[in-house]
């Protein structure tokens, strides 16, 4: 199924991955509708920053993924749906787990039901490597056990299983894309890489962080978006859960050192107890087995970690973008 010329809905289009995916879909010739979270400021999130020639080609639907009626209206007449709308912050999920059930589970159910009722030809549901929890074996393939080590990951496991059930029960053509840790321009300040970069660019003498020992498989945003598109166009991926990751891992401690080298900083790293996850909730190791996606498609990770971090730092150096982040939010 080629995306060019097809009517595509992207939920969560105002967010980090969603905004980059929306841009990419416009560039390849898809007829794109961006489902953005309704707000009193009439903000389209990161899509307000995309080039004008891109933005004018996007149709916007303002709504709430938790509302089945609004979702049904947005899905109507679409050929394909990319579902990315979600609550993602792990610390907030400890505080407000109900919100994660409402948004991540009920919101996904709304998309699946509307897609089934509307005869959508393909639904791409966004998972996360957090559903695997701490690796029991590495690299982590799609058969790895799922472990709900936070309310966030538990809600995403529930959403993934709903997607599986709609495929098995109703033959809904669902593909579950499971990205590992994506980073790059526009990422939330709650994520570790923006947290580090913003402190370094502020010439902080100390970089305040949580646990330094966990490892993560970091995938640059352009590679993650390319993975979404490759899988959406792959008939053999229907009914499957597919990892998208680099196949490389790095500890948080080594990541800080690399970012200090890129920025020329000599700050001291300070571990703060309030930033450390509960011991049984911390995901200690994530390393992607990307064998399935490379078998099904021509996708390969193209951007090295050093290059991707360099691009990300340069984006954050631009005051136009950095001004959208609160430094007190990360320190």
The confidence score (pLDDT) of residue 273 equals 84
pTM of the predicted model, to two decimals?
0.97
E-assigned strand segments in the chain: 7-11, 31-37, 59-63, 80-83, 122-126, 174-179, 181-183, 206-209, 215-216, 218-220, 241-244, 250-251, 268-271
The confidence score (pLDDT) of residue 175 equals 99
Tell me if residue 323 falls in helix, strand or coil: coil
Domains of the chain: 7-183+218-244 (3.40.50.720), 192-216+248-284+303-330 (3.90.25.10)
The confidence score (pLDDT) of residue 267 equals 96
Q: Which helix (H) or strand (E) holds 186?
A: none
209 with 235: CB under 8 angstroms? no
Transcribe 23-56 into DSSP letters: HHHHHTT-EEEEEEE--TT---GGGGGS-HHHHT
The confidence score (pLDDT) of residue 328 equals 66
Residue in this structure with the two tokens 């007449």, named with its chain if needed: 77
The confidence score (pLDDT) of residue 220 equals 98
Please enumerate in sequence order all residues whose Cβ is within 8 A of that of 86, keeping only pairs 6 or more positions apart, or say none: 12, 103, 104, 107, 126, 156, 159
State yes or no: cis peptide before 139, omega within 30 of 0: yes
Measured distance CA(94)–CA(278) in Å, rounded = 10
List, in sequence order, every residue forming a beta bridge with 175; answer none if it has no partner.
124
List, in sequence order, every residue forming a beta bridge with 176; answer none if it has no partner.
125, 241
Strands lying side by side in the sheet with 31-37: 59-63, 31-37, 7-11, 80-83, 122-126, 174-179, 241-244
User: Residue 197 is encoded by which pair of tokens?
Assistant: 């970069």
DSSP 146: P
pLDDT tens for the chain, residues 1 to 331? 899 999 999 999 999 999 999 999 999 999 999 999 999 999 999 999 999 999 999 999 999 999 999 999 999 999 999 999 999 989 999 999 999 999 999 999 999 999 999 999 999 999 999 999 999 999 999 999 999 999 999 999 999 999 999 999 999 999 999 999 999 999 999 899 999 999 999 999 999 999 999 999 999 999 999 999 999 999 999 999 999 999 999 999 999 999 999 999 999 999 988 888 888 999 999 999 999 999 999 999 999 999 999 999 999 999 999 888 876 655 5
- Cβ neighbours around 1 below 10 Å, total: 13
- Cβ neighbours around 2 below 10 Å, total: 10
123 with 173: CB under 8 angstroms? yes
């Amino acid at each position: 199924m080629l995306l060019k010329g097809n009517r595509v809905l992207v939920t969560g289009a105002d967010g980090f991955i969603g905004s980059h995916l929306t841009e990419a879909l416009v560039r390849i010739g898809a007829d794109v509708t961006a489902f953005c979270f309704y707000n009193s400021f009439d903000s389209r999130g990161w899509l307000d920053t995309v080039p004008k020639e891109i933005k004018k080609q996007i149709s916007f639907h303002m709504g709430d993924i938790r509302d089945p009626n609004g979702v049904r209206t947005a899905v109507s007449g679409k050929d394909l749906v990319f579902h990315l709308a979600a609550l993602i912050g792990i610390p907030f999920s400890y505080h407000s787990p109900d919100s994660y059930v409402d948004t991540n589970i009920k919101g996904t159910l709304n998309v699946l039901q509307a897609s089934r009722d509307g005869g959508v030809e393909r639904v791409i549901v966004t998972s996360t490597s957090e559903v695997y929890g701490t690796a029991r074996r590495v690299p982590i393939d799609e058969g790895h056990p799922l472990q709900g080590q936070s309310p966030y990951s538990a809600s995403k496991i529930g959403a993934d299983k709903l997607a599986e059930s709609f495929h098995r029960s109703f033959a809904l053509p669902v593909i579950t894309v499971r990205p590992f840790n994506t980073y790059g321009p526009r990422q939330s300040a709650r994520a570790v890489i923006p947290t580090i970069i913003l402190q370094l660019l502020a010439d902080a003498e100390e970089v305040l962080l949580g646990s330094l020992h966990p490892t993560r498989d970091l995938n640059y945003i352009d590679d993650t978006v390319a993975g979404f598109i490759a899988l959406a166009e792959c008939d053999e991926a229907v009914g499957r859960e597919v990892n998208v990751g680099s196949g490389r891992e790095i500890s948080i401690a080594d990541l800080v050192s690399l970012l200090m080298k890129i920025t020329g900083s000599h700050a001291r790293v300070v571990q703060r107890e309030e930033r450390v996850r509960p011991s049984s909730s911390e995901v200690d190791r994530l390393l992607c087995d990307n064998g399935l996606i490379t078998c099904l498609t021509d996708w390969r990770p193209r951007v090295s970690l050093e290059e991707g971090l360099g691009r990300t730092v340069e984006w954050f150096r631009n005051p136009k973008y950095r001004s959208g982040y609160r430094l007190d939010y990360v320190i």
